[in-house]
Amino acid sequence: MKNKGFTLVELLVVIAILGILMVALVPNIMGAIAKAQMQTMAKQGADIVNALNTESLRDQDLWPHLTEKDGLSDDTDEISGNTYGTSTEYFKKLFDIENQNGGNWRPYIDVKLDFLWGNGVPSAQPGSLDQRNVAWTIVAGASSMGGEIPALITRNADTSSFVTSGNNDMSKNKNEVPLEKYPNPFGKKGCVVVMKDGSASARPSRECRLCDIYSKRTVNIPDGMQLKYLEP
């Protein structure tokens, strides 16, 4: 008995079924990949913040400052005696990029340099770091603040609506944080937020409202204190 194989109609039916499965499964697969990537960056961001907190307690305040008087050192060669306009400037100093290719390289924290980039953000060449290589926005002026404020945020999140002064009840603030300020990392898929206490979360786009970012807390910035979020 001859095996006639598939008819054209049967092949078309199989192709149609495969197409339907692809349409149904691909978004879920891509979503799972993005979630895993965000969780990886959340761990890396937490390592940066925890190292800053630990070293600041041991030696000097390593958090970026808005004015020199915010720092603990009068020596402008030290990180606590400098002010920073961008997160790139700050991370250059924190990781001692200027001396990376020499024998006198002394980063302020013992964290892998590649934690500064990821997921579409290109890696830096040794001895170099510019805006393209920095995936993070970091808060400045918050060295004496507690853990209730976002300290490190992936740069695709627009931080212009974040709390920078005053007494703010964030429990009902449902304003969405715009994403894709930079296309990478993550674009409109979500963002990573690391609080100043080191707790980190990978937030899909549906959880990128201000009440979510601040975990529905009241944030009190003391009188006379002003925060600023330093973009790359």
Euclidean distance between the first and the last CA atom of the chain, given in angstroms as a whole number: 72
Domain borders along the chain are 8-230
pLDDT of residue 16: 77
Compute the average pLDDT of residues 103-107. 92
pLDDT of residue 75: 47
CB atoms within 10 A of CB 218: 12
Confidence of residue 71 (pLDDT cuts 50, 70, 90): very low
Per the prediction, the chain carries an average pLDDT of 88
Contact 152, 191 (CB under 8 A): no
Residue 35 has pLDDT above 80, yes or no: yes
Q: Which residue has the higher pLDDT, 78 or 138?
A: 138
Which pLDDT tens digit goes with each residue over 186-221? 999 999 999 999 999 999 999 999 999 999 999 999
